[in-house]
Amino acid sequence: MSCCTPSCCTPAAEQAVPTLGTHVSDLPIAIIGGGPVGLAAAAQLLARGLDPIVLEAGTSVGTAPRAWGHVRMFSPWRYNVDSAARRLLEGHGRQAPDVDRFPIGDDLVSEYLEPLARTPAIATRLRLGARVTGITRVGLGKVRNAGRETAPFEIRLDAAGGETRIFARVVIDASGTWGNPAPAGASGLPTIGEQAATSLIRYGMPDVLGRERARYAGHRTLVVGTGYSAIGTVIDLCALAAVTSGTEVFWASRTGDLTRVYGGGDADQLPERAALGQRLKSLVVAGAVTVLAPFAVDVMQPADNGGLEVISHSEEGEQRIKVDQLVVATGLRPDLSLLRELRLDLDPALECPSALGPLIDPNVHSCGTVRPHGAFELAQPEPGLFIAGMKSYGRAPTFLLATGYEQVRSIAAYLAGDIEAARRVELDLPQTGVCSGNLAPISDEGCCASASAHCESGSAAVASCCGISEVREVALAEPA
């Protein structure tokens, strides 16, 4: 049997409600999410002799990468394979992919996540079809203090056999943000008419040149957003327009300054990422795509031709455009509902751990590279709760898998009592070559800098160099 599913096995953690005589240390460490970061967390914990259980809502690992399986990643395999996972694969005779090759989402699953999930150590600890609906402390709600630090976590699940629960001593929430797209509306709420127009809207990055080609060929499509999903979709639509008559491409940006969208060019240390922005810029210059900028979506309504009329209201006045299809690529949001009965310390704007807010807030400054961080920044006031992976970035963009792998390496080290390793920096992220604050070039030392300001990449000095007055860590008691 290749995995542990709700119908085929019952972990010890699920057999009985823990009592006062139960040793919490005998319970497993629960990892929510069977994606790249969740499986990396399991591999890192196993490497340190700890006992994880992985809870994945989907029927297979890598649900999110499968959803964007047609998309080529702009980072090569060297940044997309966790070190402990690599050792686990190699220990079972499976070579990790070529470090210099660029995978698509389907490759990430078939060549890495699925083989990793089949290793005996992971397979016996993996529960598929186990959707977490809530987490609390056994016998305690959010308010009560007494006994909180020693009470096990109670994790509620929707599984094939119905509602059930398991118990854990630590929870690592690596459930990501996939499935929670931000709406088209610039106000943060779905725009007026958006919910009624869902049949004409796709969120994220549709397979324009593949299985969804017929939906867009010969039609007018508006793409809303300025991230990599929006860029990639515009590029694909332009490729489709070049070979199918009647295909028109429109791109809406909430900001009129597209410098950051076009990227850092030669200064970007990931050439494939830089190429996306430059390809987009060349398409704009050539007139292959009609740019609407600034264009803040405010209202949608049915058009007289059966399509959709999208309306923007801004200081520049009212703008209207009629299209057949709308692609909304305005980012993703964390689902915090399952953590409602736990105590959290989150940035009020980004919904990420507060310690990360100053480092990744696009309103303040972003070089695309964040100071390496781990257990001490990701821990929550709820003892034993960590938020990791893409969910740890909340609503902020520019997350790379390598960041998530470093996070869970640090968390595993902390849980094993290796405080020195938990604090040690083991990450070298590629720079983007562009900043969102002042759009200044990258300095030789690796941070966004003006002519008079330079700083050291990957150190605490990043805070002052990038205009951040303080970088705060959540206090963690060092385990005995």
- SS3 of 375-404: the string is HHHHECCCCCEEECHHHHHCCCCCCCHHHH
**Residue listed under structure tokens 């994945």:** 56
Task: Give the 3-state secondary structure of residue 163.
Answer: strand
> Which two tokens mark 150?
């020693």
- Starting at the edge strand found earlier in the chain, the sheet holding 126-127 runs 126-127, 52-55, 29-32, 170-173, 385-387
Distance CA 59, CA 73 (A): 24
Half-sphere exposure of 244 (CA within 13 A, CB side): 19
Residues in CB range of 301: below 8 A, 6 or more apart = 193, 308, 309, 311
d(CA 33, CA 126): 10
- CATH for the stretch 12-179+332-423: 3.50.50.60
Please state, in angstroms and as integers, the Cα–Cα distance from residue 367 to each residue in 260, 373, 404, 463, 466, following that order. Answer: 10, 16, 17, 12, 9
Q: Which residues, 6+ apart, have CB-to-CB distance to 106 below 8 Å?
A: 65, 66, 69, 70
| Domains in the chain: boundaries | 12-179+332-423, 195-328, 435-471
Read off the pLDDT of residues 465-476 as tens digits, 9 standing for 90 and up: 333 333 333 445
Query: What is the Cα–Cα distance from 179 to 146, expressed in whole angstroms?
Result: 36
- Tell me, yes or no, if the two domains 12-179+332-423 and 195-328 fold the same way: yes
d(CA 225, CA 329): 5
Q: Classify 435 in phi/psi space as left (phi over 0), alpha (psi -120 to 50) or beta.
A: beta
Sign of torsion, CA 262 267 270 272?
A: positive
Distance CA 450, CA 465 (A): 10
Give the per-residue pLDDT at 471. Answer: 34
3-state secondary structure of 444: coil
Render pLDDT for 25-78 as a digit per residue (tens, 0 to 9).
889 999 999 999 999 999 999 999 999 999 999 999 999 999 999 999 888 899
Asked whether 185 and 331 are in contact (CB, 8 A), the reply is: no
Closest of 47, 108, 59 to residue 81, by C-alpha: 108
Q: Are 431 and 367 in contact (CB under 8 A)?
A: yes
CB neighbours of 366 closer than 8 A, spacing ≥ 6?
360, 396, 397, 398, 435, 436, 437
Task: Return phi, psi of residue 70, to 5°.
Answer: -85, -10
What is the CB-side half-sphere exposure of residue 453 using CA atoms within 13 A?
14
Q: Looking at this protein, which amino acid is placed at residue 373?
A: H
User: Can you tell me the distance from the alpha carbon of 307 to that of 313, in angstroms, rounded to the nearest whole number?
Assistant: 20
Architecture of domain 195-328: 3-Layer(bba) Sandwich (3.50)
Residue 151 to residue 143: CA distance in whole angstroms: 14
Given this model, what pLDDT does residue 264 score?
58
- Phi and psi angles of residue 387, each rounded to the nearest 5 degrees, phi first: -110, 125
* Res 16: pLDDT: 60
How far is 414 from 97, CA to CA, in rounded Å?
A: 29
Q: Please list the ranges in the chain whose pLDDT falls under 70.
A: 1-23, 264-271, 274, 365-370, 428-480
Give how far the C-alpha of residue 41 lies from the chain's centroid of Cα atoms, to the nearest Å: 15
